[in-house]
Chains A and B, each alone.
Chain A
Amino acid sequence: MSLDDRVRPSSGPLPYALGAFGVALLLAGSYWGLFRAPRETFMGDVQRIMYIHVPTAWNAMLALTFAFGCALLSLWRGGWKWDARLEGALEVGVVLSALLCMQGSIWAKPTWGVWWDWDPRLTTTAVLVFAFAGILALRRLVDDPVRRATWSAVATIIAFVDVPIVYFSVKWWNSLHQLQSSPATVSSAFHLPLRVNAFGILFLMCGLIALRSRGAALRLRGELAPPPVSVVSPLGTAAALMALQAPAAEMTGQIRGGWEFVWAAYAVSAAILIGYSVSVHLRYRQERARQVREGTEAGA
């Protein structure tokens, strides 16, 4: 990676198309999951949170795995597009992981009786959020684009390798507190909404990463090309939302979850996904406007 390499941000409506298709799938899948799928034998209606929770989990890990790939390519192949994609994947991964923690917490309350119960997956996700949000903070605090690219790539590789280690250490540590684990077998009646929502979030996520990367590439072009402009676009507040330990409630042993938790989980997910999508879009437009302004001032 050198200051000489060119940055070519993409253009066109593809991210928006992907996002729209993803939202459509999500609406269909959620409708099915909320209103048409049967109730689960033990958990009742609360189990419907699974239809938004599990796809979010798959895609959060996918986003962070993609970030890992971008980091490797950024370090060893070079090229600014991988750094731009890294930034997009990191931010989307953090947002999805934070959302995952919130959904998991809302699901935990009626099923386990407390907001947080050291489930290995939930705990690992919380650690993940902190680790990758830290890398976003690192990117924010380093002005030199070359260094920023190299360092965040290194940090992403290290954090990603850490994920399985954290998972297993928490799993064994937690075995002292809980035997419950997520389902290994899921009745086929539940498969359809799960799959539809999974693809829904997948397409939405791809659209978000593409658009966010485009914004990052635009900003990079502004940073690298003359006239020198010191531009660090605000990353927004999307990555900062985390719902961690609310005070643990007394376990009465008789908490029966109801639709209020299901609605809460879906509402939170919709709010975060919509809010984040809007934020990415607005920041992209801001970046575009800035480029146009500066391009005009510098002359042809």
Chain B
Amino acid sequence: MSELMAAVRKDLLLQWRTRAQAVAVFVFGASALLLFSFASGPAAELLRSQAGGFLWLGLMLCSTLALADSFQSETEQHALEALLLLPASARALYYGKALANWLQLALLGVALVPMMVVLYDAGTTNVVALVGVILLGSAGLSAPGTLYAGMTAQTRARQTLLPLLLFPLVVPVLVSAVKATSLVLSGDPMGQAGGWASLLLAFDAIYWSLCGLLFPKVVEE
């Protein structure tokens, strides 16, 4: 447990120290949202109804950058081998990084919400529900994303491999998060956002356990 705390602290500290990169990633996401609005044209009704989809597409694009960066220090400094003296250590490393990535993605998501409100005229007073969906969805991106980032960081084609492996896997996250977000934004008269949130929760449970189980295999020498 203390290993986990140490790992989380280390990764949060790393993220804080490289926060300029996080700003760049946010700008990337914001430009993506801007481009979506140009691609769809000025039809207000269309933009409002698709706002949830655009938000999550933007966040997913950001995640490729953020996740790939998360193993940067380990690869550059060859710190990976040094950290892995015991299998328990590998697991702590994984969960520490996954938690830090989760936080980063969730913050990115929340930061992109004002862009969504302004560009697509789509907002809601139910902030709690919106933040909840963002938390659940980014957790679903973070768990498999951290695993694959750890894998691809050690290959030579890391830029292309990470999204190639990750995106088909997180289709359920995309589908559920977009649906839940759209429902929250539109008032959800039939009360269905909870169902999508349950699917997200189940997905998160499966992947946070499975990826933690498999990560030591990915980094063992």
Contacts and interface: CB of A to CB of B under 8 A. Distances in A.
* B is a partner of A: yes
Interface of A: 75, 127-128, 130-131, 134-135, 137-138, 141-142, 147, 150-151, 153-155, 157-159, 161-162, 165-166, 168-170, 172-173
B165 interface: yes
B194 to A, nearest CB: 13
Given A127-B168, A165-B206, A75 B217 contact: yes
What 7 A-B pairs are tightest by C-beta distance, nearest first?
A: A131-B168, A169-B172, A130-B168, A134-B164, A141-B157, A169-B175, A173-B175
A172 B151 CA distance: 32
Nearest to A170: B175
If over half of B's interface residues share one DSSP class (helix, strand or loop), that class is named, otherwise mixed; here it is helix
Given A75-B217, A151-B218, A158-B210, A166 B156 contact: no
Nearest to B199: A169
B164 A172 contact: no
User: What is the interface residue range for chain B against chain A?
Assistant: 20 to 34
A168 B214 CA distance: 24
B169 A159 contact: yes
B196 to A, nearest CB: 8
Contacts of A153: 217
Nearest to B164: A134
Contact of A158 (B171, B203, B214): B214
A165 B203 contact: yes
A291 to B, nearest CB: 27
Contact of B176 (A138, A151, A155, A169): A169
B206 to A, nearest CB: 7
Contacts of B169: 131, 158-159, 162
Nearest to A159: B169
Contacts of A137: 161, 164
Given A127-B171, A159-B168, A166-B172, A173 B214 contact: no
A85 B155 CA distance: 23
Contacts of A158: 144, 147, 169, 207, 210-211, 214
